[in-house]
């Protein structure tokens, strides 16, 4: 199923937390992920790790997007961790109901 969805293309991501400015380690991660995607003719997403979206400042999201573009990269897609909270909760509940997971 995974191969059908991706059509064999590699999917990478750069997942910064949108709560501050980027540093040199982020630059390394940006370059490795985006260059690997280019080399493998795949995709690299910019996926903001906004695990607490109520306190994230949009200023940092805009700044990170600008920095990625300034470095010469265009994300295939921009997503947020919070986009997946509800589906993940539904999957978790289903696993628990089916006896494949538990809550301690």
Q: In the chain, what are the domain boundaries?
A: 2-97
Nearest to 83 by CA among 43, 51, 54, 46: 51
**CATH class of the 2-97 domain in this structure:** alpha beta
SS3 13: strand
User: How many angstroms separate the Cα of 37 from the Cα of each of 27, 34, 75, 76, 88?
Assistant: 15, 5, 10, 10, 26
Quick: pLDDT tens for 51-99: 888 888 889 999 999 999 999 999 999 999 999 999 999 999 999 999 9
Q: What pLDDT score was predicted for residue 44?
A: 97
pLDDT average, residue stretch 44-50: 94
Residue 62, Cβ density class (10 Å: 0-12 exposed, 13-18 middle, ≥19 buried): exposed
Q: By the 8 A CB rule, do 57 and 18 touch? A: yes
């Amino acid at each position: 199923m995974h191969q059908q969805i991706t059509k064999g293309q590699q999917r990478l991501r750069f997942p910064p937390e949108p709560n501050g400015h980027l540093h040199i380690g982020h630059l390394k991660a940006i370059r490795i992920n985006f260059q690997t995607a280019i080399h493998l003719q795949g995709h690299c997403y910019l996926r903001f790790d906004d695990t607490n979206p109520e306190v994230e400042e949009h200023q940092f999201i805009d700044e990170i997007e600008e920095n990625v573009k300034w470095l010469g990269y265009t994300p295939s897609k921009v997503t947020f961790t919070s986009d997946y909270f509800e589906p993940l909760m539904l999957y978790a509940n289903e696993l628990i109901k089916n006896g494949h997971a538990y809550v301690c």
